[in-house]
Amino acid sequence: MSANENTLPFIPFTRPHFNQETIDAVAEVLRSGWVTSGPKLAEFETTLSEYFGGRPVRCFANGTATMKIALQLAGIGLGDEVITTPISWVATSNVILGVGATPVFVDIDPVTRNIDLDKVAAAITPKTRAIMPVYLAGLPVNMDQLYSLAKQHQLRVIEDAAQAFGSQWKGQKIGSFGDLVSFSFQANKNLSTVEGGCLVLNNIEEAKLAEKLRLQGLTRQGMDGMDVDILGGKDNLTDVNAVIGLHQLKQLPTFQTRRTALARQYFDVIRSEMKSAGLESLKLELPVENFTDSNWHMFQVVLPLDQLNVDRAQIMTDLKDLGIGTGVHYPTITGFTLYQNLGYKTESTPIAQRIGRSILTLPLFPGMTDEDINRIASALAGILKKHLKN
């Protein structure tokens, strides 16, 4: 590492941005004395509903709760099967197990890295009740194909759109159509409430039931009483989180414009650096180069490990030594001990198995500079060249 490189600031793989207006708004909520679920939450849900074209929206403490409650709303439980992808944050399948159902993993498309919808039909059994697609890095699946398949087999669709806030399908916002659509507002998401999430629902009846499920099954009966008629949990979002979300929503178009510009630059500079390094024959897999559907939540490459003499961990270490943070999104779910003990095999989904051990998330967040992208692309090309097999 050169002296100059050693003094360069560290680039994390992501960093949330909260402006002074947001910070001031949080302080105002704290001073108000109403910091749990209250008027700001109601305002946030109304604003989100408008964003999604008038569909009912309810917010929750995190994106895991949104999926869990979506499964409950769909009536999925013991003995049921839910088809999903093995490349996701483990929460996707954990919530299926949590309601007593069985996750059925279908292999992924090597280009989009999302569930391969062409393979879903073969996995449907009489026990199948729903499909839960995941929009990895914000890229949606083919929504026409997804809902055609669901209609044909009379299945519910629970969209794990945790990473896809702001993404589109044929000009329509993800969440503005479809069945149950779950979003996360965790710290690294395009719109963050620090922790939180929302569920876009089909009708007011589902919304009312979701409200009860998120707060102990509580039914309010005026000023002098209340009742609990179903088993609920404690998954409500606070006004502190909600006011952050309201201000993030105002900034979303600016965030999105910058993410798109950074993604475009990644494609151009990585290809240029690879060519300059004489690595045209190296099979570094880039994302789908589509600038209309994805919200560019992450920029991920798949490393050509069969052409390198090191593993992914070493590549990540080398980048860290140059002041560049990276992430892994995600290892194959079926490789975790919990799922191995349940009888799942990584080799049953071979494309996911390969992607899961080779995928690498590069830094991408609105606060990055053009020079950051140049620096990352140059470092990556140099490291790949260093570790190229003879």
Q: Dig out the tokens for 164 from the structure.
A: 């896809």
Helices of type H across the chain: 3-7, 20-32, 39-51, 63-73, 91-98, 143-152, 204-214, 239-276, 312-321, 337-341, 350-358, 370-386
Axis crossing angle, helix 312-321 with helix 370-386, rounded to the nearest 10: 130
Catalytic (active site) residue 189? yes
3-state secondary structure of 305: helix
Half-sphere exposure of 79 (CA within 13 A, CB side): 2
C-alpha to C-alpha distance for 71 and 91, rounded to whole angstroms: 13
C-alpha to C-alpha distance for 88 and 113, rounded to whole angstroms: 10
Q: How far, rounded to the nearest angstrom, does the alpha carbon of residue 361 sit from its chain's CA centroid?
A: 13
C-alpha to C-alpha distance for 363 and 299, rounded to whole angstroms: 7
The residue from 40, 189, 234, 389 that is catalytic is 189
Plot region of 100 (φ>0 → left; ψ -120 to 50 → alpha; else → beta) = left
| CB-based burial, 214-227: b 16+ in 10 Å, e otherwise | bbebbeeeeeeeee
Active site residues: 189
